[in-house]
Amino acid sequence: MRKPVIAGNWKMYKTVGEAVETVLTLKPLIANANHCEVVIAPVFTALKTLADRLEGSNIRVAGQNCSTEVEEGAHTGEVAAFMLRDAGATHVIIGHSERRQLYSEGDTMVRRKVQAAISSGLTAIMCVGESLGQRDQGIAERVVSGQLGGGLSGLTALDHDRIIIAYEPVWAIGTGRTATPEQAQEMHAFIRRVFAEGHSEQAARSLRILYGGSVKPDNVSPLMTQPDIDGALVGGASLEAQSFARIVNYERA
């Protein structure tokens, strides 16, 4: 059985004080949520404070990004994966669509970050997904397959437990178009097949694949009934404690 993961990506929102207020409100609302793993990804400046406040709870903390470098050095503005681990993070988001689109992160950079995360003992939540234009051109599967192969090449059998995939249908975020649970399931099943081809059937069966297409309290339950959807990477709906708690406590079939 693959234990679901509900992860909240706070992006560039919340001061340290606001972040603390949110998690202190969230903790009791999901204290009995043993059916899934809960992860929140605050800005770097709040990471250590939140990790300390959440110690002993059922909420884990993630970085939103990490450096490709695995050792200290003259890399102004970068944060190494081992530094995230030192600050209390257990996970890190890598290759998010915003990083790929706005900061020109390609598959080679994503691969190096995944390797840095794994070598530092973090679980890498690696994001993949096609744009509106790519879906309309009929090349969605080709794009996602390329991102999987490019980001995960060199992965060993020992690394499989440190990998979570998040599928972001970029075409369904802020475009007015929506992905149905069936469309999401179709791509999740494809991702699992591609992973099996590149690694092994056993690894693919245990791989957790999260859905990241504008998940909200009113659409999470139908998504979570799909056989290959193992959780959610939540954006805006994770910024408010009650909203995120409703997603974590989704109705289970």
pLDDT in tens, 186-200: 999 999 999 999 999
pLDDT at res. 73: 96
Is the full-model pTM beyond 0.75? yes
Residue-wise pLDDT for 213-247, tens only, equals 889 999 999 999 999 999 999 999 999 999 999 99
- Residue keyed to tokens 């059985």: 1
- pLDDT category at 253 given cuts 50, 70, 90 is low
Eight-state DSSP code of residue 55: T
Per-residue pLDDT reduced to its tens digit, 31-57: 999 999 999 999 999 999 999 999 999
Any idea of the CA torsion for 95, 97, 103, 105, to the nearest 10 degrees? 40
β-pair type (59-63, 91-94): parallel
**Which of the residues are catalytic?**
96, 168
CA-closest candidate to residue 248, choices 96, 54, 32: 32
For residue 231, the SS3 value is strand
Confidence check: pLDDT of 1 > 90? no
The answer to whether residue 176 scores a pLDDT higher than 70 is: no
